[in-house]
Amino acid sequence: MIIQPLDSADNKTVRRVRSLRSNRGLRERLGVSVLEGVRLVEAAIEAGAEFRIVLYGPRLVETERGRSLVARLSLLSAKAHYVSEKILSDLAEVETSQGVLAVASMPPMAKVWPRPASGPPLFVAIDGIQDPGNLGTIVRTAQAAGVHAVGLSKGTVDIFNSKSLRATAGSVFEVPLVRLEEEPWLDPATDGDLTLVYAVVQGAMPYEEFDWTKPVILVLGNEGHGVGHQESGQAVSIPMVPSANSLNVASAAAVLMFHATYVRRQAGMPVVPPSAPVFGRRRPATVGD
């Protein structure tokens, strides 16, 4: 029997996904995000997210990977709906839909910096970055570099909007996130060992002269205005040729994060990933994984 996909844009579930896609306040109130694409959905499964709604179409089940994804979602008792490619295209924010959209629980955001199991912590604080591509890329790079947590200030773009999520390529489910309420984002009672390191365009200590073996919070500021204001700590710059104006904040973040972990390795300090996944659990492997 041929199963015809749902093709009504007025369907209650389709309208619900559309509302969640466009309404940050609603997403935050319900504690969910809208995931688009195979990689993001796979990453959410691995991290132990809870799935509320899944929309998938013919394009997804044409591939073995897609069929495997549908099977894994069915094991999680997700409310899966087979819909037309037109519905997915209307909801998608990419030019060509990969055939799946999912509403899943957001990774929880901590209120304090989570300490690694061993060694000095390496944290990154995001201060008012507005471009979702930059933010997502920084989170993706933070995971690759071995950063222990990423903090997000109130003025920062939503990490759970579709563009930010895509730019993380799933790293948002691997790196612990911290909600930064007030600067300088340190609790004197528990964070007295941490040094704030501010990335500025010029006029500061060259980044390679700083001692990155210390417990640090690397602060990355807004694309146009930089760091909001500096409390105690150290400012560092990336030396550039005189004809250069500045680096994209995501590029600068990559230079600084990977340099920090390089220095630590050279000092015999292994890079220790976060001690627990962001949801506190992982999905057990299933047959076919």
- For the chain, what is the mean pLDDT? 88
For 114-147, give one letter per residue: b (16+ CB within 10 A) or e: bbbeebbbbbbbbbbbebbebbbbbbbbbbbbbb
User: For residue 84, which amino acid is it?
Assistant: S
What's the pLDDT score for residue 273? 72
Q: What is the pLDDT of residues 248-267, one digit of tens each?
A: 999 999 999 999 999 999 99
Domains and CATH numbers, the chain: 12-105 (3.30.1330.30), 109-266 (3.40.1280.10)
- Residues 6+ away with beta carbon under 8 Å from 263: 212, 213
Q: What is the pLDDT of residues 65-112, one digit of tens each?
A: 999 999 999 888 888 899 999 999 999 888 888 899 999 999 889 888
DSSP state letters, 150-182: EEEETTSPPTTSHHHHHHHTTGGGTS-EEEE-S
Distance CA 27, CA 104 (A): 10
On the CB side of 174, CA atoms within 13 Å amount to 19
Edge-to-edge order in the sheet of strand 177-180: 109-110, 177-180, 149-153, 122-127, 216-221, 195-199, 234-237, 205-206
Q: What is the pLDDT of residues 129-157, one digit of tens each?
A: 999 999 999 999 999 999 999 999 988 99
Neighbours of 38 (CB within 10 A): 18
Distance CA 289, CA 277 (A): 19
Show the tokens assigned to 23.
């309404």
Show the tokens assigned to 288.
């076919």
Judge contact between 70 and 99, C-beta under 8 A: no
What's the pLDDT score for residue 226? 72
Could you tell me the pTM of the whole model? 0.89
Neighbours of 281 (CB within 10 A): 10
Residue that the structure tokens 């389709």 belong to:
14
Distance CA 113, CA 150 (A): 9
Average pLDDT value for residue range 40-46: 94
- Confidence tier at 276 by pLDDT (50, 70, 90): low
Pairing status of strand 149-153 against strand 177-180: parallel
101: left (phi over 0), alpha (psi -120 to 50) or beta: beta
Distance CA 151, CA 153 (A): 7
